[in-house]
Amino acid sequence: MSQAHSGFTKQMARNMFYGGAVFFGLVFAGLIFDSERRIPERSNAQNITQAVINGKHIWETNNCIGCHSLLGEGAYFAPELGNVYKRRGPDFIKAWMQAMPTNAAGRRQMPQFNLNEQQLNDLVEFLKWTSEIDTENWPPNIEG
């Protein structure tokens, strides 16, 4: 009978399935554990100041995320801002916020938020802090 002579039995297939499932399950659990273990050194949490907290509040209450993404999360109407501090620097960001909207023909527009000097500084501190989180280069494109 062909089945008796076959080198590959149902029993072997079953063992491969269960063995593979357990093996890769363990590999996956190991990778999760490794990622979790490294979060404290990557999160930049030690550099959260009151200014960073205030800046995050400004970020949230003005719905910046409704148009922008931050570290890949958010909307894709406007540029990624997780690395905008490194790309543009503090002076550009503050001048940008004050110059909105550009009303330039053919460009997407950003509203004027009327932030005062203190709020602009806090916002910059938040974006600086965000840019220093070790995301292992996520998102991969510098402009998001």
Sketch the per residue contact string, 110 through 129, with ligand HEC: x for CB under 6 A, - otherwise.
xx-x---------x------
Nearer to ligand HEC, 52 or 84 (CB): 84
Angstrom distance (rounded) from CA 135 to CA 144: 13
Told to check if 64 binds ligand HEC by CB under 6 A, we report: yes
* SS3 call for 72: coil
Q: How far is CA 131 from CA 24, 34, 67, 101, in A?
A: 34, 23, 18, 25
Sketch the per residue contact string, 70 through 109, with ligand HEC: x for CB under 6 A, - otherwise.
-------xxx-x--x---x----x--x-----x----xx-
Angstrom distance (rounded) from CA 105 to CA 102: 9
Told to check if 68 binds ligand HEC by CB under 6 A, we report: yes
